[in-house]
Amino acid sequence: MPSPLEFLASRGSTPSRLLTDPGPSPEQLRELLQIGLRVPDHGRLEPTRYVLIDRQSGAELGARLARRLLAKDPDPTAAAIDKERGRFVRAPLTITVVCSPCVGHKVPECEQQLSAGCTALMLLLAAEATGFGAQWLTGWPAYDREVMDWLGLTAEESICGFIYVGTPSAERPNRPRPDLDAKLSYYGA
Ligand SMILES: Cc1cc2nc3c(=O)[nH]c(=O)nc-3n(C[C@H](O)[C@H](O)[C@H](O)COP(=O)(O)O)c2cc1C
């Protein structure tokens, strides 16, 4: 059992293609989602909400994405269409993290987006701590107005990311991490 610091020092994403069944149970999911909301939040504006996509709704959404791709690109490859069809069925569950900012508030919107980003990271950590794997993805659907409409976003809202969650089917790959010394300076030195 790693210590909390060892856990944080070794955290990592599991690529969505390696996320299989089972996904979180309803109780586990509620716990993950609740932990995801335990984030710093300037002004207690609660700027984050979720839209859940399970495999069944993901298949329906994927069919819409494939049609949307065809509308944007009249000659996509078969692989590109397949990718869209399968985008939200890879993992058992995808959690859409939506930034729902309080527009015009003295707390700038970028701070509210940062709070939503904290939720996304908390979900990754909580999923891993529960024994699941998770990955934070965006891609074009996160920025497409029509997709946002399908997911029920208002004009002020934005998609912070799609958090794919499932059981890792293999050990996650490791990647080199930044060199701390290259990222560190001292004010006044
Ligand atoms: C806002 C955001 C969006 C991302 N979108 C994608 C994406 O669309 N495709 C992708 O391959 N990785 C994306 N990533 C990167 C992965 O989430 C992840 O960082 C990467 O797989 C490396 O894993 P690590 O978390 O272990 O460093 C995104 C990361 C962030 C923070």
Compute CA 106 distance to the chain's CA centroid, rounded to the nearest angstrom: 27
Ligand 1 contacts CB of residue 86 (under 6 A): no
Topology classification of domain 18-165: NADH Oxidase (3.40.109)
Share of the chain above pLDDT 70, in %: 100
For ligand 1, atom 17, which residue shows the shortest CA distance?
136
Give the distance between the most distant pair of CA atoms in the chain: 57
Q: 124 and 13 in contact (C-beta within 8 Å)?
A: yes
Q: 12 and 135 in contact (C-beta within 8 Å)?
A: no
Ligand 1 contacts CB of residue 12 (under 6 A): yes
112-126 pLDDT per residue, tens:
999 999 999 999 999
Q: What is the mean pLDDT of residues 167-178?
A: 96
Q: What is the pTM of this model?
A: 0.97
Ligand 1 atom with least separation from CA of 12 = 26
The encoded tokens of residue 44 equal 């207690």
39-89 pLDDT per residue, tens:
999 999 999 999 999 999 999 999 999 999 999 888 999 999 999 999 999
Distance, CA 162 to ligand 1 centroid (Å)? Answer: 10
